[in-house]
Amino acid sequence: MKILKEILIYVGIIIGVILIRTYLLTPVIVKGDSMSPTLNDKDVLLLKKYDHTYKRFEIVVFINEDSKLVKRVIGLPGDHIKYVNNELYINDEKITEVIKTTTKDFDLKNLGYDTIPEGYYFVLGDNRNNSVDSRMIGLIPESEIIGTTNFSLFPFANFGKIN
């Protein structure tokens, strides 16, 4: 009977961990330098799977061709996005970005849209010259976004909240 109790405790712990990783929180590893200088290759982040409210400049993880990509949300549904001379314009209003980086001129019309449709997002890597993002792969459907992240687990020197 004592052995059965011990086994049930371990089974409960295993089920709890599986449920947490499946529905709430899970680690995710950054692959590549597309989010540099904010994030680097092999950084380990804490992904919030329960967060389905995507805000401008928030970092999201999504699935693209069987890979998990980490990018920053720039455009929300209803927005018109364009870059002119390294400046972001949303609905023709100049916006100051969280990360100041060189970005080639771009207009959402290049993707065939006047505005971002409901249920889609425009995402970019912080390292704009070395990022496969919405400029190449198009708008990201909300259904492909796994969750948001704003916390670094590893390397320990970067442990904590991400801006």
Which residues does the annotation mark as catalytic?
34, 71
**102: containing domain:** 26-153
**More confident: 75 or 101:** 75
Provide the number of structural domains found in the chain: 1
Q: For residue 11, tell me if it sits in a domain.
A: no
The predicted model scores a pTM of 0.88
SS (H, E, C) the chain: CHHHHHHHHHHHHHHHHHHHHHHCEEEEECCCCCCCCCCCCCCEEEEECCCCCCCCCCEEEEEECCEEEEEEEEECCCCCEEEECCEEEECCEEECCCCCCCCCCEEHHHHCCCCCCCCEEEEECCCHHHCCCHHHHCCEEHHHEEEEEEEEEECHHHCEECC
Give the pLDDT of residue 14: 85
Q: For residue 2, tell me if it sits in a domain.
A: no
**What CATH number does the domain containing 80 carry?**
2.10.109.10
Give the pLDDT of residue 9: 83
What would the pLDDT profile of 7-35 be if each residue is shown by its tens digit? 888 888 888 788 777 777 899 999 999 99
Q: For residue 158, tell me if it sits in a domain.
A: no
> What mean pLDDT is predicted for residues 87-105?
89
Flag whether pLDDT at 73 surpasses 80. Answer: yes
